[in-house]
Amino acid sequence: MIERLALIGTGLIGGSLALALKAAGAVGEVVGCGRNPATLERARELGIIDRYATDPAQAVAGADVVFLAVPIAAMREVFRALRPGLAGEVLITDGGSAKGCVVEDARAELGPWFAHFVPGHPIAGTEQSGPDAAFATLFAGRRVILTPLPENSAEDVARAEALWLATGAQLETMSVAHHDHVLAATSHLPHVLAFTLVDSLARMEERQEIFRYAAGGFRDFTRIASSDPTMWRDICLGNRTELLALIGRFQQDLSALAASIEAGEGEALSALFARAKRVRDTLYSL
């Protein structure tokens, strides 16, 4: 049971966490924090938070758990701002989509409190943002990755695990580096491809005609291009090394595909498409 949760960022991820914990009876009071009082007031109306403060140090005062759900590029400034309010056996954790950059920010700003920071990332979300997008069942049955640090105590890791288990999530644990490597492939590269495809077509002169004939396949492929631009800017910059390596590899594979098309190598194309179909069919028939 969390007595007081300080929720820095009351949008989709932070809001859904608070609603899930409240629904499970796993939290007493939730104190919200953000830059914009109108957003915080809305979060209060929606029952996500009980009260709020715009100063992170005030918001975390007396909290036993602090959860950061702000865009990745804002993490450093938030760690710095909340540090004066930290006290006691507080657990600090987050939901940021890339972990190496957030851990670096926490290490730089939290001082002795760094050992109490247990990084996390829920593999769940939607293309919507803000408190109105939050819902209590977002994490139910979904994976949440914790990337505990050598500095963490077993007790703090167990508290972070208990927090997510209360939302109905399934927990996985891995290193920060492994997280960023895997997520670059499964999430960050696909988002970059979807954004680029839509933008590339939208800048063609005959775009009206092109989009008029865009059917279900195009819609499926590009759904994630409706995601929040600020969030994805931050993720690309935060996980740039892993992402750049994958973009380079993908560019090579795309060039090889173009060469096969140009050379009329039907067999090479069929072999590639059949391999990909087998993998996709296996993944989603499970």
Contacts with ligand NAP, residue ranges (CB under 6 A): 8-14, 34-36, 39, 69-72, 74, 77-78, 95-97, 121-122, 125, 129-130, 228, 231, 235
* Token pair of 266 as six digits: 């039907």
CB of 278 to ligand NAP, least distance (A): 29
Q: Which is nearer to ligand NAP, 184 or 254 (CB)?
A: 184
Q: Which is nearer to ligand NAP, 60 or 70 (CB)?
A: 70
CB of 134 to ligand NAP, least distance (A): 8
Residue with the CB atom nearest ligand NAP in the bound state: 125
Q: How far apart are CA 192 and CA 184, in angstroms?
A: 10
| Residues composing the chain | 286
Q: Are 168 and 139 in contact (CB under 8 A)?
A: yes
CB of 129 to ligand NAP, least distance (A): 3
Using the structure block, give the residue that is written with the tokens 């997008």. 133
DSSP letter string, 58-98: HHHTT-SEEEE-S-GGGHHHHHHHHGGG--SS-EEEE--S-
Q: Which is nearer to ligand NAP, 95 or 148 (CB)?
A: 95
CB of 73 to ligand NAP, least distance (A): 8
Cα distances (Å, whole numbers) of residue 143 to 7, 164, 257: 21, 10, 34
CB of 126 to ligand NAP, least distance (A): 6
Q: Are 122 and 146 in contact (CB under 8 A)?
A: no
Q: Which is nearer to ligand NAP, 57 or 268 (CB)?
A: 57
Q: How far apart are CA 24 and CA 286, in angstroms?
A: 29
Q: Which is nearer to ligand NAP, 156 or 232 (CB)?
A: 232
Instruction: Determine the 3-state secondary structure of 121 from DSSP.
Output: strand
CB of 10 to ligand NAP, least distance (A): 4
Strands (E), the chain: 2-8, 27-33, 51-53, 65-68, 91-94, 117-118, 120-122, 143-146, 170-173
CB of 34 to ligand NAP, least distance (A): 3
Q: Which is nearer to ligand NAP, 23 or 257 (CB)?
A: 23
Q: Which is nearer to ligand NAP, 58 or 260 (CB)?
A: 58
Cα distances (Å, whole numbers) of residue 230 to 31, 132, 195, 215, 226: 24, 18, 13, 28, 12
